[in-house]
């Protein structure tokens, strides 16, 4: 197990290194200068600006500086946001994004799980079809369409909830629901399949043969076995949530990382783009790693199989 974790961590760093390298060189290929839109700068001023950001040095030197800085957690300074440190900006904007992501993930997993369980227990009934239908809809309808609908009908037309910003629990409801649709759908589908498989397995019959009542069998023997693998969907969901975050934060004007990222794209703020990209990658890889380790710890089959070597 320890060997496995170590191997995974090494991979994580290789991947991050590659992302940093690739994004650095891609940025160098980009057409257009970040300073162009700051108005009419004279040649001299431009040279001065370049020197200030180290852009006058040969590319290999720039690359080396960049990698060493990144390794120390220094992601450079933003061109746009008053020359502030990228890492500071990210940390500052991280709060709302993490809140939204965690809310959507938690809400989505719980609702999806319940839907999936209900569908499996009431297999081939109205509940099952309804839950399956909801899962297909949730998986299919793009988050921006759904968010737009919610915002238009619930916030604008009915005025029940605020249509934008992130200033308290009431502001969190619509964005969370909009972002949670995908996790709900994913968890519901996964849970239903898993639960049906578990409920049809031999050990459930064994438990029934012991004379335990069916409710106890379903929840004590079935649920546990079906829920554990649900952890594995968290990794893929993390990416979906990051993608969703960009959209939802823009629609609901939430001052988070996603909104800032989109802004930095439209303003060619390279250090900000690269920094956020690296940060997203790190977050994603880290979540996947934690999920894998957690899964190993929780599932006795994997825990002990891994423990032997």
Partner 1 sequence: MEKILDVKDLKVSFDTHGGEVEAVRGVNFHLNKGETLAIVGESGSGKSVTTKALMGLIPSPPGKIKNGEILFEGKDLTKLSDRAMSKVRGKDISMIFQDPMTSLNPTMKIGNQIMEGLIKHQKMNRSKAKSRAIELLEMVGIPDAKGRINQYPHQFSGGMRQRVVIAIALACNPKILLADEPTTALDVTIQAQILELMKDLQKKTETSIVFITHDLGVVANVADRVAVMYAGKIVEVGTVDDIFYNPQHPYTWGLLGSMPTLDDEESELAAIQGTPPDLLNPPKGDAFAARNQYALKIDTEEEPPMFKVSDSHYAATWLLHENAPKIELPEAVKKRTQGFASMGASNDDGKGDTK
Partner 2 sequence: MANEEHKYNKDRFEPIEISEEKGEELSRPQLSYLQDSWIRLKKNKGAIIGLLILLFIGFMAIFGPYMNNYTFKEQDSNITNVPPRVQGLENISWLGLDGKETEVLEGESVEALKEKALYVFETEPEFIESKVIQEATEDEMAKVEFTNDIYAARGIQDEYYWFGTDQLGRDLWTRTWSGTRISLYIAILAATIDMVIGVIYGGVSAYYGGRVDNYMQRIVEILVGIPNLVVVILMILVLEPGILSITIALTITGWIGMARVIRGNVLKLKNQEFVLASRTLGSSDSRILMKHLVPNVTGLIIINTMFTIPGAIFFEAFLSFIGLGLQPPLASLGTLIDDAFKSFQIYPYMLVFPSVIISLIMVAFNVLADGLRDALDPKMRE
- The two tokens of residue 267 are 């303003």
- The nearer residue to partner 1, 142 or 200, going by C-beta atoms, is 200
237 binds, among partner 1, partner 2, none (CB under 5 to 8 A by kind): none
- The nearer residue to partner 1, 83 or 205, going by C-beta atoms, is 205
Residue from 201, 219, 236, 265 in contact with partner 1 (CB under 8 A): 201
Contact residues toward partner 2 (CB under 8 A) are 11-12, 14-15, 18-19, 22-23, 26-27, 29-31, 136-137, 139-142, 144-145, 148-149, 152, 156, 239, 242-243, 246-247, 250-251, 261-262, 265-266, 273, 277, 280-281, 284-285, 288
Residue from 28, 84, 170, 224 in contact with partner 1 (CB under 8 A): 224
Smallest distance, partner 2 to C-beta of residue 73, A: 19
212 binds, among partner 1, partner 2, none (CB under 5 to 8 A by kind): partner 1
Smallest distance, partner 1 to C-beta of residue 216, A: 9
Smallest distance, partner 2 to C-beta of residue 207, A: 25
Smallest distance, partner 2 to C-beta of residue 212, A: 30
- The nearer residue to partner 2, 103 or 278, going by C-beta atoms, is 278
Rounded distance between C-alpha atoms, residue 108 and residue 233, angstroms:
12
Rounded distance between C-alpha atoms, residue 176 and residue 111, angstroms:
12
Question: Is residue 151 classed exposed, middle or buried when 0-12, 13-18 and 19+ CB atoms within 10 A define those classes?
Answer: buried
Smallest distance, partner 2 to C-beta of residue 213, A: 31
Residue from 12, 141, 173, 228 in contact with partner 1 (CB under 8 A): 228
- The nearer residue to partner 2, 55 or 163, going by C-beta atoms, is 163
Q: Which of residues 280-309 bind partner 1 (CB under 8 A)?
A: 299-301, 304-305
Contact characters 91-130, partner 1, x per CB under 8 A? ---------------------------------x------
Smallest distance, partner 2 to C-beta of residue 34, A: 12
Contact 238, 104 (CB under 8 A): no
Smallest distance, partner 2 to C-beta of residue 55, A: 17
Rounded distance between C-alpha atoms, residue 79 and residue 184, angstroms:
39
Instruction: For residue 225, state whether it binds partner 1 (rule: CB under 8 A).
Output: yes
Rounded distance between C-alpha atoms, residue 302 and residue 52, angstroms:
53
145 binds, among partner 2, partner 1, none (CB under 5 to 8 A by kind): partner 2
Residues that bind partner 1 (CB under 8 A): 124, 201-203, 205-214, 221, 224-225, 228, 299-301, 304-305
């Amino acid at each position: 197990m320890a060997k496995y974790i170590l191997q995974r961590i090494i991979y994580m760093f290789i991947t991050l290194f590659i992302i940093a390298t690739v994004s650095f060189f891609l940025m160098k290929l980009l057409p257009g200068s970040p300073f162009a839109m700051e108005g009419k700068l004279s040649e001299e001023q431009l040279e001065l600006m370049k020197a200030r950001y180290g852009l006058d040095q040969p590319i290999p030197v720039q690359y080396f500086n960049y990698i060493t800085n990144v390794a120390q957690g220094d992601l450079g300074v933003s061109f746009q946001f008053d020359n502030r440190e990228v890492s500071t900006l990210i940390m500052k904007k991280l709060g709302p994004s993490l809140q939204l992501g965690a809310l959507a993930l938690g809400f989505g997993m719980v609702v999806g799980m319940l839907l999936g369980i209900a569908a499996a227990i009431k297999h081939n009934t109205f509940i099952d079809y309804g839950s399956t239908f909801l899962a297909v809809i949730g998986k299919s309808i793009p988050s921006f369409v759904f968010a737009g609908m919610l915002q238009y009908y619930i916030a604008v037309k009915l005025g029940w909830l605020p249509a934008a910003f992130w200033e308290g629990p009431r502001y969190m409801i619509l964005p969370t629901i909009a972002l949670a649709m995908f996790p709900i759908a994913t968890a519901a589908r996964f849970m239903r399949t898993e639960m049906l498989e578990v409920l049809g397995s031999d050990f459930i019959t064994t438990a029934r043969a012991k004379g335990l009542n069916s409710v106890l069998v379903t929840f004590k023997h079935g649920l546990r076995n079906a829920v554990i693998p649900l952890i594995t969907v968290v990794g893929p969901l993390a990416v979906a949530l990051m993608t969703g975050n960009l959209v939802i934060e823009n629609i609901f004007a939430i001052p988070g990382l996603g909104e800032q990222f989109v802004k930095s794209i439209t303003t060619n703020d390279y250090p900000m783009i690269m920094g956020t990209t690296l940060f997203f990658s790190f977050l994603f890889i880290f979540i996947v790693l934690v999920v894998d380790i957690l899964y190993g710890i929780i599932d006795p089959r994997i825990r002990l199989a891994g423990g032997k070597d």
